[in-house]
């Protein structure tokens, strides 16, 4: 790795972000008739017409525009878009009777699914805290704190720790099985960590710090594999490992078999999640002002597993998932795993200094820039074969939105700048 290589990678990412990726979204996403964002686009970037506005897509879009504005992009346009999204979120998706945000509305803003899903509530905390940090609009942190308080009241498991995840509108815990009331997941708790991190960054309140520390301790102590340091996807309420199943209303539907269960369901880990968890943990520790060496072993295991087992050294990119012990199960290439490992491998190289992480970063960087970006429109293909041929072709829907791709570019550029600054000081 040389300064020239760093500059070249940064230039590629910056060009993609500012001339392709952000323009894709700013040109077509705002709904000026009903408010909020249109989030369903086909491979040509045309509105594909689905009549829904999901909590996930709306909150992730708000986060995207707020965070990119905060990072210095957009000349104010992105702050205006974030504000446009917050107006819809608070006016149409907030439950004034029971509190919390509804899971789904139609395009007109009529509620079509009134359930309270912690995965979605976590993104509300995340985006609204980021929005206040980016714009100073206090409505964001006001509602972020309301959701945080509701999670402590209704969602916190005071027996085994962590949070239950699936609730009816009035915060009654849902039933077992596919309803999800007796399960806990890596995914929801990892996103609670990122949400509480940004909330604490915004408020600096001791209670937000304490709950963030609790979630970090639980993730490291219960959710990550005790030997390999890799993420275990699903658990029973008491944190025994549970077979990974498809929930009635939640994420992950696209990676399951017809019967709703995963192959090797109890020995299955995502390379993208492991890298994402590790860099989000690093960020949380930075906001908490705790040395990353405190979790040295956990960080090293998670990053190393992704680099050693997840990278496809023949065709480029990172695989979807595999065994905790290393065997690869799914060799396809999904957009969000690529996005997260770019940030993760740069962080790993930055703190550990091992060349394998830079080689892993360069490998995925090239795959993304050469194969995954749909150049005629500027967004990323959602799912590709191992060799980089598109399998799914939509540019966006409720689960494939701008959050991973834009965040990856913003955060990777930031880390490349840190590496360049470090090399300049060393020179």
The DSSP bridge pattern shows strands 183-185 and 166-167 to be unpaired
User: Does the domain at residues 3-425 carry the CATH identifier 1.50.10.10?
Assistant: yes
Averaged confidence pLDDT in the chain: 94
pLDDT attached to residue 267: 86
How many Cβ atoms are within 10 Å of 113's Cβ, its own excluded?
A: 15
Q: Which two tokens stand for residue 13?
A: 């990412």
Dihedral angle of Cα 347, 287, 129, 167, to the nearest 10 degrees: 80
**CA–CA distances in Å: residue 300 to residues 63, 153, 232, 277, 287:** 28, 35, 17, 12, 20
For range 353-365, the mean pLDDT: 97
Summarize pLDDT for 278-324 with one digit per residue, the tens.
999 999 999 999 999 999 999 999 999 999 999 999 999 999 999 99
For range 336-363, the mean pLDDT: 97
Residue spans per domain, the chain? 3-425
CA 291 to chain centroid, in Å, comes to 23
For range 40-54, the mean pLDDT: 96
For range 147-153, the mean pLDDT: 98
259 pLDDT more than 60: no
For range 99-108, the mean pLDDT: 98
């Amino acid at each position: 790795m040389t300064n020239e290589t760093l500059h070249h990678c940064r230039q590629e990412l910056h060009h993609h972000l500012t001339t392709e990726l952000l323009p894709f979204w700013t040109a077509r996403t705002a709904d000026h008739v009903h408010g909020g964002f249109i989030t369903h686009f086909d491979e040509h970037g045309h509105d594909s017409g689905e009549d829904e506005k999901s909590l996930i897509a709306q909150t992730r879009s708000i986060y995207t525009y707020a965070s990119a504005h905060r990072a210095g992009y957009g000349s104010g346009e992105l702050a205006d878009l974030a504000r446009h999204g917050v107006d819809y979120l608070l006016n149409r998706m907030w439950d004034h009777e029971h509190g919390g945000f509804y899971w789904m509305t139609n395009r007109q803003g009529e509620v079509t699914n009134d359930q309270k899903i912690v995965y979605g509530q976590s993104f509300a905390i995340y985006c609204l805290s980021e929005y206040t940090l980016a714009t100073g609009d206090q409505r964001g942190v006001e509602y972020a704190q309301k959701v945080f308080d509701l999670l402590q009241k209704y969602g916190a498991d005071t027996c085994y720790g962590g949070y239950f995840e699936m609730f009816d509108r009035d915060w009654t815990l849902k039933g077992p099985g596919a309803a999800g009331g007796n399960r806990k997941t890596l995914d929801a708790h990892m996103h609670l960590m990122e949400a509480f991190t940004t909330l604490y960054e915004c408020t600096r309140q001791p209670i937000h710090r304490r709950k963030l520390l609790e979630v970090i301790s639980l993730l490291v102590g219960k959710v990550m594999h005790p030997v390999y340091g890799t993420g275990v996807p699903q658990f029973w309420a008491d944190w025994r490992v549970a077979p990974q199943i498809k929930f009635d209303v939640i994420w992950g539907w696209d990676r399951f078999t017809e019967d709703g269960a995963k192959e090797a369901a109890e020995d299955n880990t995502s390379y993208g999640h492991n890298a994402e968890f590790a860099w989000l943990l690093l960020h949380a520790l930075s906001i908490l002002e705790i040395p990353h060496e405190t979790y040295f072993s956990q960080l090293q295991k998670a990053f190393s597993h992704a680099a050693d087992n997840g990278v496809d050294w023949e065709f480029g990119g990172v695989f979807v998932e595999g065994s905790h012990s290393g065997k690869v199960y799914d060799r396809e290439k999904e957009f969000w795993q690529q996005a997260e490992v770019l940030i993760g491998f740069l962080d790993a190289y930055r703190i550990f200094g091992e060349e394998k992480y830079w080689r892993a970063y360069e490998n995925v960087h090239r795959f993304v820039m050469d194969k995954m970006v749909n150049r005629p429109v500027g967004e990323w293909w959602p799912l590709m074969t191992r060799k980089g041929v598109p399998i799914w072709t939509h540019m966006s829907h409720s689960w494939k939105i701008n959050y991973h791709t834009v965040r990856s570019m913003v955060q990777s550029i930031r880390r490349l700048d840190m590496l360049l600054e470090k090399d300049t000081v060393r020179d």
